Structure 1
Amino acid sequence: MADEQQALFPEPDDSEVEVEMIFESDPPDWDQIIVEAGSVFTPNHPVNERALFAGRIRQVSRLVQAVNQRGQHAILYGERGVGKTSLANVIHEFLSAQVVVLSPRVNANAGDTFDSVWRKAFNQIDLTRKADVGTVGFGAQRGSETVSPMDLVPTDGPLTPDIVRQILVRMSGDAIPIMIFDEFDRLSKRVRAAFADMIKTLSDHAVECTIVLVGVAETIEQLIESHQSVSRALVQIPIQRMGLDEIEEIVDTGFDRLGLEVEASAKRRIVLLSQGLPYYTHLVCQHAVITSAEQRSLRVTGEIVKRAIGSAIEDMEGTIKRKYHRATTAARKESLFEDVLLACALAQPDDLGYFTSKGVVAPLCEITKKNYGIPTFAQHLDEFSSSKRENVLVKEGSPRRFRFRFADPLMQPYVVMQGLAKEKITETMLERVGR
């Protein structure tokens, strides 16, 4: 087993993965720590460095196996904010250092065609470099001519799956292309169907390249409806929320990189608050570093994390903040909308993230310190599931058997953060959320 893991995850040079502190002298360079916090903890963009990548060993293994097996391709899918793009970004660093890899990543958008999205990808490849072997372009030695795949693109018509296949065959002669298409769910059904046809063609011809599709979806059918025809060629890798130990690894790796120590209770709060979503781990940790530097403290305490949560709420993306405000604002000050939504965030969900009205009762009573039954907040749940309250919840089922979940997975931790900042929930309640 050890030999197998070594083959899957070859150890790069120490210079590639060694986590170095950004200061060695006393006193620390606090301004530099604040600057580095923005590159170590990155809530607004994916991780792009193996040394800062944490967890996901099983998913990395499956993706590496897909890359190493000719004719195999991969699709990464899951909720928003779970780290799909970060995994795709660093996969080339888990391959053998002796392999020349071309790994452009393209962000698809709703207006893209099959032709335009592939032109985006090919336009990036001559910028791909692998410094440790001194190569540029298609594996050319330093000092030799750089070749762009755009030189192979016909000028008299759009790119088709067969033309793309021919270009990839030419490219694979000198390097291994790993073509990453992020936000694949934004493409039209017609374009996604063309990708399915092309993947089948690449697999049938055993072209030595790997297509990696990345998209937000609960099931693969939501991304590729005709996936049955390509199922043998497409490794399906669901990216679920991270475990507590994986989130803790993100915290430890980042603070170690910055030369900071974090108290156990402070780290526990960050881990539980993240709800398995690395976006929140990076967001709160980034603000915790800034707060620590402002206080000239090399130790991240519970009080520092508490303040970091407050500043993270202010820094949260506008869509979530706006929807939360519209969902919880009411004309009457004594309205329960804010408390009911917080109780929903604390309710115990099933494996698919759904909770019931009954599950809201206990946390609501604990938050308000009053006894409430389902009839008190049934209308609130209905409004949360409608445009009147920004559709923050999704409702499914039949009367008396309705179940609910948050429409946007990033909303639930934000609601909990608001509850912590306003001291409406206790550490014990937060512990129950993390289980």
Structure 2
Amino acid sequence: MDVFQAFKEEKQKSHKVDAFYTPSKPVSSPSNLRGRDEEIQKILGALTTPGRHCMIYGDRGIGKSSLALSTLEGGRKHQILPEHVFQYRCIKNTTFKDIIEKAALFIDEAYRHNKTETTKKFGARARFLDIFSLEGTREEKITIEKEELTANKAATVLHHLDSVMLIDEFDVVRDDVKHEVAEFVKQLSDASSPFKVLIVGIGSDGAALIAGHQSVIRCMHEIKLPRVEDKYLSEIIESGEAGLGLTFEPAIKNSIIEISSGFPYFTHLLCKESAEEAIRKSADVIDKVIFEQALIVAVKNTEGQLKRCYDLAVTSSRTDMYPKILLSAAKFNNEQFSVKSWIEQIFDDHGLTLTYGSMNNYTGKLIKAERGEILQLVRRGVYKITDPRMPSYILMCHNAVP
């Protein structure tokens, strides 16, 4: 085999890694989703029940978007859910019109050639949507100014459409937008509309995600997504092994699962970097040497928010204590921990005996913005790491040190 053919085959094999390990994007194929069968059934149940809609919430990086996309794809493929699915990923300045406009424009195109009997006008200026709504045998043209596409008018336009709308990263929008979406969902529910809404966002409870809009809670099935069990993280690794012709040594597989702490993001990231490093070295087995190099690359390629927060927390010209005490904090796996338990863990990990006074000095800094607010005070003498993904990143940084 000449050098060009060898390079081509290596490149093709490396490209296949992205088919199995995808830390940078959600899983969209049901066959690649692991450990979420119960949640899939709940989502399908809600979206096929008259008057019901669905909300998925939980920690960042836990697989909420992957669950939503895979469920919708599988539901369409097996003709459980309607063919038309609209997706919108929110940003901070997202408006209600931004979220709903794609579905409204779809209606506009779908019924553009229908004849009209009556016309309702909302708004008096230019830039109108000429939307046709079918109700039994009667056709009605509704002319709506785009800037006036409110919850009430959107529900009037869309409530006959058999479709699903996925609203992702809903936690970042303003409360007034959350209230508008909640009102839209409520009106769809009251009308037993076939148009369904699936909301996805970061949150500790469903009420926070919809800004406490109580009237929509009765029609919104809430799913709090837990961390993925270790056996399903193992399946993610094994799927790539089979597809790529690679083998992770048992100790390496255990390290990946331990670092991941139930977050599939880290499993995908570590497996991707390990697989690509093995391919570069023409190796079939991912051993300690390959994994150590992959860890270094994975730390560099981790989401920027985690890197910045950790770097702010540990940067100090006078002491190297911050990485040590944060490593011990990470051992609590983002559970709340007392200062007493933390001191004991630091002694077990590093053989260091710290006083309550010295710990107060460290914690006082780690809860501040200039230190990345990496730590959160739960109550007097009890703390937790603010970002639930941070313990995994800390463990990864620790293991990446030669």
* TM superposition score category, shorter chain reference: 0.7 to 0.9
Judged with a 3 Å threshold, the aligned counterparts in structure 2 of structure 1 residues 125 and 331 are, in CA distance, closer, same or farther, namely farther
Bigger radius of gyration among the two = 2
Cα shift at 1:46:
0.7
2:145 to 156, 176, 184: 156
Distance 2:300 2:263 in 1: 18
Aligned to 2:258: 272
Aligned to 1:54: 34
Cα shift at 1:126:
10
- What are the within-5 Å matches in structure 2 for residues 219-298 of structure 1? 219-298=205-284
Cα shift at 1:125:
9.0
State the Cα deviation string for residues 374-418 of structure 1 (Å, max 9, x = none): 3332311221111231211111213xxx22112222222111111
Residue 25 of structure 2 aligns to a residue in which SS?
A: coil
Residue 171 of structure 1 aligns to a residue in which SS?
A: coil
State the Cα deviation string for residues 265-294 of structure 1 (Å, max 9, x = none): 211111111011111111111101101101
Gaps in structure 1 of 5+ consecutive residues = 1-25, 128-136, 139-149, 424-435
1:181 to 160, 164, 167: 167
TM-score (norm 1): 0.78
Aligned to 1:393: 375
| Equivalent position amino acid for 1:64 in 2 | L
Query: What is the identity percentage for the equivalent residue pairs of Structure 1 and Structure 2?
Result: 26
Aligned to 1:5: none
Residue 48 of structure 1 aligns to a residue in which SS?
A: coil
Cα shift at 1:217:
0.7
1:347 to 309, 332, 341: 332
- What are the within-5 Å matches in structure 2 for residues 171-210 of structure 1? 171-172=161-162, 177-210=163-196
Cα shift at 1:112:
1.8
Task: Calculate the aligned-residue CA RMSD, in Å.
Answer: 2.5
Distance 1:300 1:364 in 2: 32
Cα shift at 1:370:
3.1
Aligned to 1:338: 323
Distance 2:95 2:160 in 1: 23
Aligned to 2:78: 97
Q: How many residues align?
A: 367
Judged with a 3 Å threshold, the aligned counterparts in structure 2 of structure 1 residues 107 and 421 are, in CA distance, closer, same or farther, namely same
State the Cα deviation string for residues 9-45 of structure 1 (Å, max 9, x = none): xxxxxxxxxxxxxxxxx99932212112124211111
Gaps in structure 2 of 5+ consecutive residues = 1-5, 112-128, 132-141
Q: Which shows bigger deviation, 243-252 or 203-212?
A: 243-252
- 1:45 lines up with 2:25 in the alignment: yes
Cα shift at 1:51:
2.0
1:216 to 196, 202, 207: 202
Judged with a 3 Å threshold, the aligned counterparts in structure 2 of structure 1 residues 346 and 125 are, in CA distance, closer, same or farther, namely farther
Residue 63 of structure 1 aligns to a residue in which SS?
A: helix
Distance 2:27 2:383 in 1: 32
State the Cα deviation string for residues 159-178 of structure 1 (Å, max 9, x = none): 12233223323422xxxx11
Contact kept in structure 2, 1:340 and 1:377, CA below 8 Å? no
Q: Which shows bigger deviation, 216-225 or 374-383?
A: 374-383
Contact kept in structure 2, 1:196 and 1:230, CA below 8 Å? yes
1:169 to 156, 159, 167: 159
1:413 to 369, 392, 397: 392
- Greater strand percent: which structure? 2
Contact kept in structure 2, 1:67 and 1:73, CA below 8 Å? yes
Judged with a 3 Å threshold, the aligned counterparts in structure 2 of structure 1 residues 348 and 316 are, in CA distance, closer, same or farther, namely closer
| Equivalent position amino acid for 1:77 in 2 | Y
